[in-house]
Amino acid sequence: MSVRSAFFFTLVASCLAGCAESSGQTCELNSDCLQGTCVDGECKRECADSELDCPIGYVCSALGRCEYAGTGSGTGGATSTGPGAGGGASTTGTGTTTTTTTTSGTSSTSTGMTMDFAELTLCSGDADCETGICREMTPGGESRCTRTCSSHAQCPAGLRCEDPGGGFVCVRGDVGRACASGPDCNFACLSPLDYCTSECSTGADCPNGYGCMPISNTNVCVRVAADCAADTSQCVAPAACDSSPNLVVSSCTMACNTAADCPQRALPLSPWTCDGAGVCRRPGDVYGPLPGGYAPAQWACNAASQVVNVCGDGLHIDFGSFTQPNPPAVNCNSPTTTDGLGGDACLDSCRLKGGCAFGFGCAGVAEIGGQRIGLCMKSGGGEVGAACNTHGDCVFGYCEANVCTRDCSKDDVCPEGSQCVAAGGPNIEGSAFKRCE
């Protein structure tokens, strides 16, 4: 098996000498760290000096993290950091060149028109954006204002730091998108499985349902949310089909060194483990492999004759009504699974860092035990501020009070015309829950 791409790369480190100072604190997420970021399970400062340790356009915060210097609101205060910054020449989406200057976060074109669109706003060229960078979010997809980057951690939730051509920028995570070759993806097409993947350090860098393991000497996100009872072709290797007694349906798995390599569910759900043989194992409340969005959800009986779903994250929902259908009647002696009722479908939880597989948006729209968790909701075409009836009507998979919004808890980033505000209720991943309004 090989990873096929027109461009494999090594991410450029944002830290220079002295900036990766360890605090000795163990962690799973950046939010676990009092200072710095979570690197290989340990909190480390990214920086000490903004100019020496951080990319252009970022400042070193008191927490030792390189943070974007812009306001994220499109109202000024940020300078362009990409093509065209400081009066240079920027290439627009149509291939023409426009001379730009920057004053108070506003770009002025030679025609006298000014644009200072915030990140994630739809755009037609670099001069539209306060960062000076307008890029396709996926090959052939819509273009949005974005920023330069040197690591995934520097990108807003749902975006990843990739070099699809012309330098590292934050683009939409397209892990799981169907592909035929490398140019179909922001990073690479995993062949012969034919889905887009992305480089990773741990499973937390990947959507739930995907773990992080080396393929052709590069750590990439690999899918384990696949049924292998009759066909092992969707597993990373035929031997990676897990038929453990607790599973109702045999499920793909993967090799691991630690549990951090395995898929990461939303907190506080029970985690995957890495067993003594170096294989990722599902938690006890997960009985099958079906990915989020699989419909109808499938049901069967476990070893204790309890009716359970065989969704890869153990969760199910009717995406249209945002309700949880009752289980169907199941014959425990049946050799096949039973379809769920009505619009019942499999559902994945998510962490804001790893986001969701392509076609879904991670939003903190559920609570478990008084703690807010992210769910991977289907995404549609409605921009922030557009009317909606369901989460699936919206680009970022989040509809609130019949208006499309975005979960900005991780990054404080909102498209033009909206701002990131506290939404109240339980925190998510240790941080205040916020959305674009």
Hey, what amino acid is at 46?
E
| Ramachandran class of 217: left when φ > 0, alpha when ψ lies in -120 to 50, beta otherwise | left
| pLDDT reported for residue 62 | 53
Kindly report the CA angle at 307 between 302 and 311, in degrees rounded to 5?
Answer: 80
| pLDDT reported for residue 60 | 66
The b/e string for 200-211 (b: 16+ C-beta within 10 A; e otherwise) is bbbbbbbbbbbb
Nearest CA-CA partner of 271 in 255, 261, 282 = 282
Contact 383, 117 (CB under 8 A): no
Q: Residue written as tokens 């991410």?
A: 11
Q: What is the pLDDT along the chain (437 residues), one digit of tens a residue?
A: 222 222 221 211 222 223 344 444 566 665 555 556 666 666 676 666 655 666 555 566 655 666 555 433 332 222 222 222 222 222 222 222 222 222 233 333 333 455 789 999 999 999 999 999 999 999 999 999 999 999 999 999 999 999 988 899 999 999 999 999 999 999 999 989 999 999 999 999 999 999 999 999 999 999 999 999 989 999 998 889 999 999 999 999 999 999 999 999 998 999 999 999 999 999 999 999 999 999 999 999 999 999 999 999 999 999 999 999 999 999 999 999 999 999 999 999 999 999 999 999 999 999 998 899 999 999 999 999 999 999 999 999 999 999 999 999 999 999 999 999 999 999 999 999 999 99
| pLDDT reported for residue 240 | 94
List residues bridging with 92 in a β-sheet. Answer: 125
Nearest CA-CA partner of 340 in 368, 319, 361, 365 = 319
Domain ranges of the chain: 378-436
- Phi and psi of 239, rounded to 5°? -75, -5
| pLDDT reported for residue 7 | 22
Listed in sequence order, the DSSP H helices in 170-291 are none
Nearest CA-CA partner of 264 in 190, 348, 198 = 348
State the Rg of the chain over Cα: 22
| pLDDT reported for residue 8 | 21
Concatenating the DSSP letter of every residue in 183-198 gives: GGSSSEEEETTTEEE-
290 exposure class (CB count in 10 Å sphere: 0-12, 13-18, 19+): buried
Nearest CA-CA partner of 164 in 146, 153, 178, 176 = 146
Nearest CA-CA partner of 174 in 364, 329, 358, 368 = 358
pTM of the model: 0.74
List residues bridging with 224 in a β-sheet. Answer: none
| pLDDT reported for residue 4 | 24
| Ramachandran class of 104: left when φ > 0, alpha when ψ lies in -120 to 50, beta otherwise | left
Query: What CA–CA distance (Å, rounded) separates 132 from 128?
Result: 7
SS3 string of 79-110?
CCCCCCCCCCEEEECCCCEEECEEECCEEECC
**DSSP three-state, residue 204:** helix
| Ramachandran class of 335: left when φ > 0, alpha when ψ lies in -120 to 50, beta otherwise | alpha
